[in-house]
Amino acid sequence: MAMVKNNTHITLGRAWNILRSAIRMLPAEDCPVRLCAGRSLAEDVLSLRNVPHYNASAMDGYAVSSESTAGATPSSPVVLEQGQFSWLNTGGVLPGAFDSVVMEEEASLAGDGSCLSVIKSLVAGENVRPIGEDVFRGQVLARAGEAVTPAAASLFATAGIPSVRVLPRPRSMYVPTGDEIIPMTDWLETEQPPAGRVGESNSLLVAGYFVRWGFPVDVAPCLPDDPEVLSSFLKEKAGEYDLILVGAGSAKGEKDHTFRVFERHGEPLFRWLLMKPGRPASAALLGGSVVVNLPGFPMSNAVILWSVVYPILQLLQRGNFDDATVVQEALGADGGEQVSLLGPHSSTPGREEWLRLKCVEIDGVKRAYPLPSGAGSLWALAETDALSLLPVESAELTRGTTVFTWFVRPVPWKERILFQGSNDPAMERLPTFVRRYGGDLVLRSVGSLAGLAALSRRECHTAAAHLLNPESGEYNTSFIEGLFQDPEEIVRLVLFFREQGLITKSGNPKRILGVEDLVREDVRIVNRQSGAGTRVLLDALLAEAGIPTDSIRGYGNLSPTHFESANRVALGFADAALGIKSVADALGLGFVPIAEEPFELVYPKEYARLKGVAALLDSLLDEDWRAVVSGMGGYRWP
Amino acid sequence: MAMVKNNTHITLGRAWNILRSAIRMLPAEDCPVRLCAGRSLAEDVLSLRNVPHYNASAMDGYAVSSESTAGATPSSPVVLEQGQFSWLNTGGVLPGAFDSVVMEEEASLAGDGSCLSVIKSLVAGENVRPIGEDVFRGQVLARAGEAVTPAAASLFATAGIPSVRVLPRPRSMYVPTGDEIIPMTDWLETEQPPAGRVGESNSLLVAGYFVRWGFPVDVAPCLPDDPEVLSSFLKEKAGEYDLILVGAGSAKGEKDHTFRVFERHGEPLFRWLLMKPGRPASAALLGGSVVVNLPGFPMSNAVILWSVVYPILQLLQRGNFDDATVVQEALGADGGEQVSLLGPHSSTPGREEWLRLKCVEIDGVKRAYPLPSGAGSLWALAETDALSLLPVESAELTRGTTVFTWFVRPVPWKERILFQGSNDPAMERLPTFVRRYGGDLVLRSVGSLAGLAALSRRECHTAAAHLLNPESGEYNTSFIEGLFQDPEEIVRLVLFFREQGLITKSGNPKRILGVEDLVREDVRIVNRQSGAGTRVLLDALLAEAGIPTDSIRGYGNLSPTHFESANRVALGFADAALGIKSVADALGLGFVPIAEEPFELVYPKEYARLKGVAALLDSLLDEDWRAVVSGMGGYRWP
């Protein structure tokens, strides 16, 4: 069936309206009271019984007739004979002949039990929990739309209600597809997965969100990239499930045979969203099911889960959703807030764009920086504290722009500090230890100079640098003096010395022995970004040797971390890189030592009062961290 | 074993310290990655693989050697021969001979596929997702203490991690006890439960909270009130469970054989809390388990669940908890706030006291009134919006006092309006319909006069009254003029007329035909509270007949609602009550008509703009509500 015109390349808001008019609410269902806690009521719940269902004593005491106690006081007690009173425990049944209970403390029984002195005059019903006192038969106990609390569930059972009508939980299935996909169990058992194949892991993303939302989901076995197989699978399952999510293979998200199957057998609803990531999503009605094509890249998959799949579940369950709050609900976000960006971000006009943000509070202001934006970066999604959906008309966001974000997990605002500065693997092991001392350390590798500059603008709590001044031979001082108005207010702390050198292929097959060899025609390097301490060092070494930088192949080929440059050497994309020994060791590469440099931590004195900085300072002395670092190679303690 | 001295009759804070020093944390456990979403990590998670694990094409295009493209531009393309390029889908494996990928759009293949024109000069690694780009082997993916998000679970699987170390979920069991308890299944199947027996329903309260907290709990069959049976049960289960909760029978919460069993076989920790409700709780260590005695009354049971059991679960799982936040966490409360009381409350000094509050926003201020405080009232617990723990030193709280509360469920602040006023069963059916129109109506029966007075103090949004002025024969006007500075600002709306009369036992065995009969010696009445419209009517009728009120038996015996007074007649605690026909009909009682009165809704004009008031006005015209009311008897539409 052909799709309604203009339902391709649409905004999320338009997709919601299309879904809203196409998807019908499922009927309510019965739920045994034993399982109803947490469910949403489809109808008012009326009590089937009086609670209590008999006149019960409200305390330990004697059942009596109130009239028989008329005039009783402590100074002139009334004495009741056998047959005029009867002992009751709390909750005991008030005998029909009596209408009240005298407290144990206000009566005394004769030694032989023959008579009872009562020192208080009672009124009818006193100390009795009469039938229906807590709840009467027919009373409304809870109303349609409410979620059943533990207390309500217990109350329903007490009121004799065996089951309640609740909003349905749509039956959903996730179907991974793709020839390149290895089922998760096999993937986890494989020692060396073959190149070109990837493990099925999006089902964990899907199942994780469904569990959060309180909806069940089945995961089907992985299907091959075969329209015929998918067609017959969907036709078979459409009757069993209300919602079927077809996941594309993670590397082939934009192959479109899934949508062609939707078109051939169902009623297409929309295709292509003006959204980044998440663009290749589509949806249709097919044989009584709603079917959705989830893009394969993890971030795209997640975006469609919370912005399309959750609204569909709401339509199936409740018949509607609120545009203003549905994404917040889907994200499980505890409200939203404006945060101020720690760096610029370029957005693509004409598309809504999801930003993944890492958040921190600096000087009382909530700030955030964007994590890598690739749809394939599962790591960035896992690191995300908050999400922001930039509107279609966004373009260049400058540093300090505020954006509205939803927090997707608790941010430890008071414990967290942000480090911006030089990249170092020993530093990267530190957050685990900082946490032991009650802090939370977030590391952002931006290079030594950018780190100091960020610190001078109060865009982080601490930085680290190893910036050589080639003229003085001194590290960092001239840079700090240039950036900070009052360098006295800055604490400087040498964490360790580390060995810098030339990282080469294993065994150094091209015999690269010093910077002089970098000019050779058969040598290609990978460099670090401008402002990185390692780049400053390379430039100083080249200047000293009188080598012009444009004579070096790959000088303009940049990597942001030691690991990435070493990795490019390991992968054969370059022959050499200036970098530290620990990374060469970790990747089994060759290493030609060149210099030992101090790695200095820097922070404003006033931040020493912060919980996070205190924990950082404690963790620097932690023996376990020092042992880890010593094992990495190329580090020396001051 | 004897308990440490001074561990009885203690505050909650002291109980926490005793538990903290007695309970040891359980060891961490392995969790398959498939099930780890939502669990808390006990250790850092390090990647076992590089992601991607091979050099993958980042797009659809041709693998080439970057050197072979040197100098290529749109105006002077480089032409590559067979063997110098190879087609790759996104995610395809970069062959070893190549180091970059040229985008499909920047190359054109000859018709016979023999050669490829490239219009861009590439650098090594361009358009390639190199091994380890997203995550490298050994990289810390998540840290001890973090909760596993769906994205993290998916990332772990991608990184080849089959299972992770997580904090344990203590194995817990709930054991209902009590001779009077009927197992829940039997209770729900019984048509007429026997007097003196109650259904087991606390297990739903326990299980509901455990599910919320993400902890499993088994429910044991109900045990009799027999110390020997309990002893051998606990000794058998102590090895299997980390935590055993012994629930007292709901009506015998303070019988103490459970604690004697704890003393005989275990190491008692504490007994009796200075807390209301919840006082009869106790705890002990017994054969490797922590055992807790939960009081039987539902509210007491719930209080001990969130204030003692949840902290114990935290100790077993994490080794500690934060006194400042543990109750909030246990309640699932989204923070706390100060609210201002709508009425006075007397607290017992020397005990901490839990207040159950119903909340509403009036004129921009968050306000609350206490629900009935009985430990046995499950209805009040189910109705609760917020909880407040009054400190030991609290005594008389006056109207307007602010108390700190935790919200235990979302309060619809913007939709909710509070009604205070006359009690009426037709009004009681209205909230269901108000909700259909987007509002939320909370009813508080305080009587006609108290309702108008509350409205004049802006302590509710609307009131209803049927106050007869015996001199003028008019209803409400004189009262409204006396209470409101500008009665013109008040909207008055007659909802319906209702029949008032004498409610008697079924068949009117004592032949009570008018107020004259109420003076008879064999007639006992139940009256309504002062300020209730029905009380005003009774007093007017008596005055007219020249009957002094002190000549009437039961005149001082008060009930706050029509249902309660009629119920007292039904139960034989009184012979007659003035009340409305619908209640007499509902309980099958006799009814002698005396007067028809208007039931008037009253609200300030300016509140008409409120969502809740608009919905209330809409619902008054709802045909379904009118049909319900018409079926109740004794109502006439104006």
CB-based contact, A315 to chain B, within 8 Å: no
- Cβ(A158)–Cβ(B199) below 8 Å: yes
- For residue A52, cis peptide bond before it (omega within 30 degrees of 0): yes
Q: How many Cβ pairs within 8 Å bridge chains A and B?
A: 294
A257 pLDDT above the threshold of 90: no
Place of tokens 């964490």: A495
CA angle B111/B117/B118 to nearest 5° reads: 145
Fold of A434-636: D-Maltodextrin-Binding Protein; domain 2 (3.40.190)
Q: pLDDT tens for residues A288-301?
A: 999 999 998 899 99
pLDDT number for residue A6 = 76
Average pLDDT over residues A600-629: 97
Mean pLDDT of A618-634: 96
Please report which helix (H) or strand (E) contains residue B380, including its range.
Answer: helix B378-383
- Tell me if A196 and B34 make a contact (CB, 8 A cut-off): no
Please determine, for residue A253, whether its predicted confidence score (pLDDT) is greater than 50. no
Q: What is the pLDDT of residue A349?
A: 87
Pairing of strands A352-362, A275-276: parallel
Residue-averaged pLDDT of chain A: 94
Axis-axis angle for helices B533-545, B448-456 (nearest 10): 130
DSSP A125-191: TTTEE-TTSSB-TT-EEE-TTPBPPHHHHHHHHHTT--EEEE-----EEEEEB-TTEEPHHHHHH-S
B-facing residues of A in 585-604 (CB < 8 A) are 586
The verdict on a CB contact (< 8 Å) between A38 and B251 is: no
Give dist(CA B296, CA A279) in Å, integer.
56
pLDDT of residue B250: 44
Question: pLDDT grade, residue A90 (50/70/90)?
Answer: confident
How do beta strands A440-445 and A416-421 pair?
Answer: parallel
Q: Which residues contact A221 (CB under 8 A, 6 or more apart)?
A: A183
User: A519-559: per-residue pLDDT in tens?
Assistant: 999 999 999 999 999 999 999 999 999 999 999 999 999 99
* Site from A89, A379, A585 to mutate, B interface, most B CB atoms within 10 angstroms: A379
B468 half-sphere exposure, CB direction, 13 A CA radius: 19
CATH code of the domain made up of B437-636: 3.40.190.290
pLDDT tens digits for range A385-436: 999 999 998 888 999 999 999 999 999 999 999 999 999 999 999 999 999 9
User: Using a CB-CB distance cutoff of 8 angstroms, which residues of chain B are in contact with residue A569?
Assistant: none
Cα→Cα distances A636→A308, A426, A620, B521, Å: 53, 11, 14, 103
- Predicted local distance difference test score (pLDDT) of residue B373: 82
**What average pLDDT does this structure show over B260-272?**
94
A145, A162, A206: residue with CB nearest B435:
A145
Residue by residue, DSSP assigns B539-592 as HHHHHHHT--GGGSTTTT-EESSHHHHHHHHHTTS-SEEEEEHHHHHHTT-EEE
Nearest-angstrom CA–CA distance, A258 and A235? 13
User: For residues B541 and A394, what is the distance between their CA atoms, to the nearest angstrom?
Assistant: 75
* Percent share of chain B, pLDDT over 90: 90
- Strand-pairing partners, residue B163, are B32
Report CB contact under 8 Å: B381, A155: yes
CB atoms within 10 A of CB A506: 12
Beta pairing class for A590-604 and B115-118: unpaired
Residues in B 31-70 with any Cβ partner in A closer than 8 A: 33-34, 37-38, 44, 49, 51-56
What is the pTM (predicted TM-score) of this model? 0.92
Cβ distance A208 to B151 less than 8 Å, yes or no, reads yes
CATH number of B333-411: 2.40.340.10
Q: Chain B contact for A277, CB < 8 A?
A: no
| Residues carrying CATH 3.90.105.10, chain A | 29-51+134-166
Across residues B465-483, what is the average pLDDT? 95
Distance of alpha carbon B258 from alpha carbon B248, whole angstroms: 8
Cα Rg for chain B, rounded, in angstroms? 36
> Which of A296, A305, A262, A293 has the alpha carbon at shortest distance from A179?
A296
Percent of chain A with pLDDT over 90: 90
Nearest chain B residue to A207, by CA: B150
Q: Which of B68, B245, B280 is nearest to B170 (CA)?
A: B245
- Report strand pairing: B267-273 vs B107-109: unpaired
Q: How confident is the model at residue A44 (pLDDT cuts 50, 70, 90)?
A: very high
Domain B8-25+170-328 has CATH 3.40.980.10: yes
Distance between CA atoms of residues B328 and B323, nearest Å: 10
Query: A221 by DSSP, 3-state: which?
Result: coil
CA distance linking residue A328 with residue A272, whole number of Å: 23
Q: What percent of chain B has pLDDT over 70?
A: 98
Contact between B490 and B604 under an 8 Å Cβ cutoff? The reply is yes
Going by pLDDT thresholds of 50, 70 and 90, the confidence category of residue B217 is: very high
Q: Is the pLDDT of residue B4 over 90?
A: no
Q: Please report the pLDDT score of residue A481 as a whole number.
A: 95
**CATH 2.170.190.11 domain range(s) in chain B:** 56-129
Residue B251: predicted pLDDT: 43
User: What band does A376 get if pLDDT is binned at 50, 70 and 90?
Assistant: confident
CB B375 within 8 Å of CB A144:
no
Q: Residue A33 — φ and ψ, nearest 5°?
A: -60, -30
Residue with tokens 């200036």: A578
State the burial class of residue B546 (Cβ atoms within 10 Å of its Cβ: 0-12, 13-18, 19+): exposed
Tell me the pLDDT band of A607, cut-offs 50, 70 and 90: very high
Query: According to the model, what pLDDT value does residue B377 have?
Result: 87
Interface mutation target, options A36, A66, A154, A625, chain B, most CBs of B under 10 Å: A154
Arch. (CATH architecture) of B29-51+134-166 = Alpha-Beta Complex (3.90)
SS3 A565: helix
Please name the residue of chain B whose CA is at the shortest distance from the CA of residue A201. Answer: B154
| A298·B409 Cβ contact <8 A | no
Write out the CATH class of domain B56-129.
Answer: mainly beta
Look over chain B and give the mean of its residue pLDDT values, rounded to a whole number.
94
Residue A256 has pLDDT above 70, yes or no: no
Residues B388-399 have a mean pLDDT of: 91
Nearest-angstrom CA–CA distance, B396 and B538: 33
pLDDT tens across B115-170, in order? Answer: 999 999 999 999 999 999 999 999 999 999 999 999 999 999 999 999 999 999 99
Question: In the Cβ-directed half-sphere of A508, how many Cα atoms lie within 13 Å?
Answer: 14
Phi, psi at A515, each rounded to 5°:
-60, -25
What distance in Å separates the CA atoms of residue B17 and residue B7, rounded to the nearest whole number?
11
CATH 3.40.980.10 residue window(s) in chain B = 8-25+170-328
Q: Residue B164 belongs to what H/E stretch?
A: strand B163-166
Alpha helices in A255-325 (DSSP H): 257-265, 298-304, 310-318
Is residue B1 less than 8 Å (CB to CB) from chain A? no
Q: Which residues of B touch A134 (CB under 8 A)?
A: 376-379
**Distance of alpha carbon B300 from alpha carbon B323, whole angstroms:** 20
Mutation to test the B interface, candidates A158, A181, A198, A564, most B Cβ within 10 Å:
A158
Q: Which two tokens stand for residue B132?
A: 């380890």
Check whether B542 has a pLDDT greater than 60.
yes
Q: What is the ipTM of this complex?
A: 0.93
Judged by CB atoms closer than 8 Å, whether chains meet at B162 and A211 is answered as: no
Give the model's pLDDT for residue B3: 64
Give residue A252's pLDDT: 47
Chain B contact for A161 (CB, 8 A cutoff) = yes
pLDDT at A205: 96
User: What's the average model confidence in pLDDT over B521-545?
Assistant: 95
Number of helices (H) and strands (E) in chain A: give both, helices first: 19, 38
